[in-house]
Amino acid sequence: MSDVLTILATVVGLGWNVVFIVFAWRSDGRLDQRLLSICAIAWLAAGVHDAFVFTRLLDSNMYYSTLSENVSVIAVAVVLAWNFVHNLRRIEGFNVELVGKVEAARQELADTLQRQHELDVVRARQGERLGLAHDLHDGLSGALVSNILRLEHAPESMTPAATLAAFKELRDDLHLIIDTSAGYESGRNSLAELLVPLRFRMTRLLEGHDIACAWNLHGLEQVFLVTSASLDVLRVLQEALVNVLKHARARTVVVELGATDGMLSLDVTDDGVGFVPSPEQPTSGTGLRSLRARALRLKADLAIESRAGETRLRLRMPLVP
């Protein structure tokens, strides 16, 4: 029985060797596998010889399987060492390639960030220019229009003192634009304090054209905004009053400005002729675009309602703590 098992095990071992040799010598076989297959052939020959000796088909007492197994072990060790060195070199090459790709990606990212920075600078400059254009339109333009109207309707009122006051008004308005453009956002003055000179100038200007101006203010002493936001609020108010002066032919204008429940609300209402939007008289001029742009920067809701005898501008802005 033991002889049968031995023969069976030998046949199985020889069969697996034949299968390995066949696969190793395929067209796409690897070199290390072919080298091992040579050892397998030697072991196969030794196995066949020993099987013949074991079954007495060959008259000999020499067995070569042990010697061939030692040679096979040495061959496997050599192949494993060769594969280890080969894989180590591949890993080193992969690391070098990975470092190169990482460096290329880093450089590409740096270039992208540089281009993004340049685009941000361009956008910032364009935004500053647009803001300056709006400030010039809403501030200096309003003051110039008011003085031009005075010269057209009552040139005798432009005494040297009045002319000097007009130039001072333009100077103060220019200072406010320059301070905001320089980026001073300390927010040290409340909205009530910042409103004082504008209220004084616009009241005097409106009353000089026989337009009564009433001011209802509340809660502004505790409203501290960055300078740019304060300027936007004041410019919206100024533009609304200049529009009343230029277009409304009103007799009365009421300004309501206050802070309640975390909201800043502004209402400017006049009793003028009003207007009806039409293709011939569009309402999307520079002044209205400027108002909308400022409302967008303030994250505020802006609405204008008009009919004969009443026009109202409404601004609602959340106050962020």
Q: In the predicted model, is pLDDT for residue 199 greater than 60?
A: yes
Residue-wise pLDDT for 9-23, tens only, equals 666 666 666 666 666
DSSP class of residue 156?
G
Higher pLDDT, 130 or 192: 192
Is the predicted pLDDT of residue 126 greater than 80, yes or no?
A: no
Please tell me the predicted confidence (pLDDT) of residue 251. Answer: 94
| Domain assignments of the chain as residue spans, ordered by start | 2-105, 116-318
pLDDT of residue 159: 78
| Structure confidence at residue 263 as a pLDDT band (50, 70, 90) | very high
Q: For position 318, what pLDDT does the model report?
A: 93
Q: Tell me, what's the pLDDT at 280?
A: 42
Helix (H, G, I), strand (E, B) or coil at 1: coil
CATH class of 116-318: alpha beta
Question: What amino acid is encoded at 308 in this protein?
Answer: A
For 285, phi then psi, to 5°, come to: -75, -175
CB 45 within 8 A of CB 71: no
Mean pLDDT computed over every residue of the chain: 77
Q: Pairing between strand 212-218 and 263-270?
A: unpaired
> Measured between alpha carbons, how far is 292 from 255 in angstroms, rounded to an integer?
19
Q: Which two tokens stand for residue 137?
A: 């339109």
pLDDT band at 312 (very low <50, low <70, confident <90, very high): very high
Q: Is 252 helix (H, G, I), strand (E, B) or coil?
A: strand
Where residue 217 falls among pLDDT bands split at 50, 70, 90? Answer: very high
> Residue 265: pLDDT above 90?
yes
- Read out DSSP for 261-309? TTEEEEEEEE-S------SSS-S-SHHHHHHHHHHHHHT-EEEEEEETT
Mean pLDDT value of segment 258-280? 82
